[in-house]
Structure 1
Amino acid sequence: MRASERNRAWIVVVLLFMFMVINFADKAVIGIAAVPIMQELQLGPRQFGLVGSSFFLLFAVSSVATGFLVNRVQTRWVLLAMGFIWALTQFSMIGAVGFETLVACRIALGIGEGPATPVALHSAYKWFPNELRTLPTAVIVQGGAIGVLVALPLLNWIIVRWTWHWAFGSLGLVGLVWCALWFVFGREGALDTGSAKDAAQSSLRVGYVQFLLSPTILACWAASFGANWALSLALSWQGAYLVKGLGLAQSSIGFLGALPAGGSAVAMLGTGWYSQRLLSRGVSSRVARGILGGLGVVLGGAALVMLPYVPGIPVKIALTTLAVALPSAIYVIGNAVVGEITPAAQRGALLAIGAAVASSAGLLAPYIMGSVIESATTPLDGFNTGFFMCGVIMLVGGAIAIAFVNPEREAKWSSRRIQPLTAST
């Protein structure tokens, strides 16, 4: 890659990083504002859980549909349209808002944000060959963690000072600024010309049913499902857990609520760097990606399984932080694995299908947690039970990834089934 192309590629990566910062700030604001929203709208835990889950109602559908769309339409324009949808949706939260409006806005935001990660990565992968994708993937994906880490203290300050409505409105303004920057500087990479292998794959494809039967892809999705269960709980319920479960004041939870995101940023960057280093030294992708990613999910699950049995607020906060941070490795690893074994012409769709499968955890987890809390003797008992359930799901998903992710085997398997891409396919 020439120096000028490399510079343009990393400009795109920086903008996509900012894109993901806004994406996760938009998601996380509902969690940090949970208690004020519940108080103003007089919502019970089950109702608020429905608000959290509503974000994911059409998330998967939008993700898959857009994934197929970007196989034919430039990602530059799709990303710009998504950014506008996010901003306009957040502006709707300024002023008087009822329960129905809140749910409708979260559904609309979920439609706009569903394809965010796969489309952003598909855009970046048009600039980097397979052997150089892990680090850009880590940078872009950990933008979500940085978004939560930076935004939550600031958004909580806005909530305490000006109410939760303006926290949403401020995110709308930031979204419009990003749209202007992307319109000026966002560019489309030459489709997978980074290596001879990628160039050859750009005109080849495998039947989608074959991918849906791939043990490696299914295992990546199982681990991502578990990781997303924990992430969706953190995004929807972390603020309420700190206030209602542990008894902390709203004014003190901005930094504490951002701790899992800070840990995720470190974990994703560290995992991306270490995985790429292992690959450069000749370590198999099964070890450098499969086992490494699955282990993070297993360790995160173990932290939540331990949570109900440990005393003290600091230890509980530490365990919930680790439970979100350690599994975040799979967001880097899983997408890189799919990109490794998928023909370029189908990569956007497969990344989107994976995001849809993983995000289905978000449709279930917030509502189930709310139902458990409402049925429990105390809020803390409910949180402990809900987090324990999440831990078990993560242990299973991570173990599946460790056992079955094997990109080298899948690459040989798919090469025997590849067909030239024609108009009829």
Structure 2
Amino acid sequence: MSVPIPTSVRVRKIQRSALTMLLISGSINYIDRATLAVGNPLIRHDLGLSIADMGFLLSAFLWAYAFAQLPSGALVDRFRPRVLLTAGLSLWSLAQVASGLVGSFGQFYVARLFLGAGEAPQFPTATRVTRDWFNPRSRGTASGIWNSAGPLGTALGVPLCTALMLAFGWRWMFIIMGLLGLVVAVIWFRLYRNPTEVTLTEGEVAYCTEGDPAKRRSPVTFREWKMLFKFRTTWGMIIGYFGCIYMTWIYLAWLPGYLEIQRHMSVKYTGIAAAIPFAWGIAGSMAGGYLADRLIRSGQTALNSRKIPASLALVGTAGFTIAAAYVQSNMLAIACISAAIFLLYVTSTCSWALSSVAVPPNLTASVGAMMNFGGYLGGALAPTVTGLIVQQTGSFVAALVVGAVIALVSASSYMFIVHHEISDDHLDVLHASLAE
């Protein structure tokens, strides 16, 4: 990549509209995850549910989301982002509407499962859009923009859902958010176009496909999808992202509790203090994308420009998490947690940017979804493991240290297991060996 290929005004317009819609839909994705947590006390009272029941409802989403990643990525690659994100948005938004109409634990549990399954295509879709419409030199920045939907939606979710619940009740909180998602689904379907649906000039094609193999492979097949598990790079990404999302969900699920139980902060101040680190997460997401693009422009390979920052940021996350566990000052603890979350989102953005260069174009969403599957296995385990450790020890210190160790293992996975890009030639050789 020596001389940058210029892009056209039309492609830039497509990029801006796609990123805007992905940021909005991704933010709604995260806000919708907050609805159950916000409505927890009232829902338990109205439906006669126990705290354990609420735990099952919260975990139902995470497990459904994790396991739905595997087929969702392949479906995005086969049927393309326009159809799959429309379907995903519609499914999870209908699940939100249904959550406002439920009358029993069983009905709520099914709605949560559909919420998790419907949200699964959001980020594999985003990484495929990035691969389709952005040059490799700008894919990191694009990934940073749409990946910032995570901390942005997290920061907006609690105050917005609380306001809706106080104004209209918990049932209408779910219904309103579901209807909003359906509106966004219609807008996405009407405005977004896959590259195959646009007549591109030779220059526009050259810009979007720079660095791609000359031979364009057909839509992903089940055989090709399975073959991705034969490569160490795939497993390096899965193990690497496990630690990233494990650490993310320690803070998502337990940060308010940690500040109240371990740091003895009042509920009044906990809400403010817990929001500060996730504001830094937005900055981390943007910084990770900028750094990845800056490295590739300076001559680093596409793979190294993503995996090295992801690995080093996880090492930093581990260090700041251990510091947060042991410092005496509450202010220093919040500063350390803010730094940890900033670096977590550097890792997250670089990981998604990695999936846009690690495989041929027709497998981009597939490998991203596999990575996210590994991540959300960690995400599903983190709240439970942390709770058990705190229950046994009476402190968050050991739980944070365990998370830091997992982050270091995942950092090593990015650095040493992610080894090379999976090229068409690699797939052809493996295909031939399996056929013998």
| TM-score bin (small chain) | 0.7 to 0.9
Q: 2 CA distance for matches of 1:384 and 1:49?
A: 23
Question: Superposed, which structure 2 residues align to 1:305-384 within 5 Å?
Answer: 305-377=322-394, 381=395, 383-384=396-397
Question: Superposed, which structure 2 residues align to 1:269-288 within 5 Å?
Answer: 269-285=286-302, 287-288=304-305
Task: Deviation per CA, 1:399-421: give whole Å up to 9, x if none.
Answer: 32233434xx435x763544799
TM-score under structure 2 length normalisation: 0.83
Structure 2 residue corresponding to 1:298, chosen from 315, 320, 331: 315
Q: Is the 8 A contact 2:303 2:357 kept in 1?
A: no
Q: Does 1:401 align with 2:414?
A: yes
Larger relative contact order (Cα-Cα within 8 Å, sequence gap ≥ 6): 1
Corresponding residue number in structure 2 for 1:268:
285
Assess, with a 3 A threshold, how the Cα gap between structure 1 residues 186 and 284 changes in structure 2: closer, same or farther.
closer
1:253 Cα deviation after fit: 4.2
Q: 2 CA distance for matches of 1:97 and 1:257?
A: 33
Corresponding residue number in structure 2 for 1:174:
180
Q: Does 1:123 align with 2:118?
A: no
Q: Is the 8 A contact 2:131 2:361 kept in 1?
A: no
Q: Percent of aligned pairs with the same residue? A: 21
Q: Does 1:203 align with 2:217?
A: yes
Corresponding residue number in structure 1 for 2:67:
61
| 1:230 maps to amino acid | M
Corresponding residue number in structure 2 for 1:233:
250
Assess, with a 3 A threshold, how the Cα gap between structure 1 residues 253 and 105 changes in structure 2: closer, same or farther.
farther
1:227 Cα deviation after fit: 0.9
Assess, with a 3 A threshold, how the Cα gap between structure 1 residues 96 and 9 changes in structure 2: closer, same or farther.
closer
Q: Does 1:256 align with 2:273?
A: yes
Kindly tell me the number of residue pairs found equivalent between the two proteins.
415
Assess, with a 3 A threshold, how the Cα gap between structure 1 residues 309 and 102 changes in structure 2: closer, same or farther.
farther
**RMSD of aligned alpha carbons:** 3.3
Q: Is the 8 A contact 2:357 2:421 kept in 1?
A: no
Q: Is the 8 A contact 2:49 2:105 kept in 1?
A: no
Q: 2 CA distance for matches of 1:270 and 1:339?
A: 18
Q: Is the 8 A contact 1:291 1:405 kept in 2?
A: no
Assess, with a 3 A threshold, how the Cα gap between structure 1 residues 357 and 68 changes in structure 2: closer, same or farther.
same
Structure 1 residue corresponding to 2:32, chosen from 1, 8, 26: 26
Assess, with a 3 A threshold, how the Cα gap between structure 1 residues 61 and 400 changes in structure 2: closer, same or farther.
closer
Q: 1 CA distance for matches of 2:34 and 2:407?
A: 21
Assess, with a 3 A threshold, how the Cα gap between structure 1 residues 310 and 167 changes in structure 2: closer, same or farther.
farther
Assess, with a 3 A threshold, how the Cα gap between structure 1 residues 362 and 346 changes in structure 2: closer, same or farther.
same
Structure 2 residue corresponding to 1:17, chosen from 15, 19, 23: 23
Corresponding residue number in structure 2 for 1:137:
143
Q: 2 CA distance for matches of 1:420 and 1:309?
A: 49
Q: 2 CA distance for matches of 1:195 and 1:286?
A: 17
Corresponding residue number in structure 1 for 2:4:
none
Moved more, 247-256 or 291-300: 247-256
| 2:345 maps to amino acid | S
Q: 1 CA distance for matches of 2:115 and 2:36?
A: 12
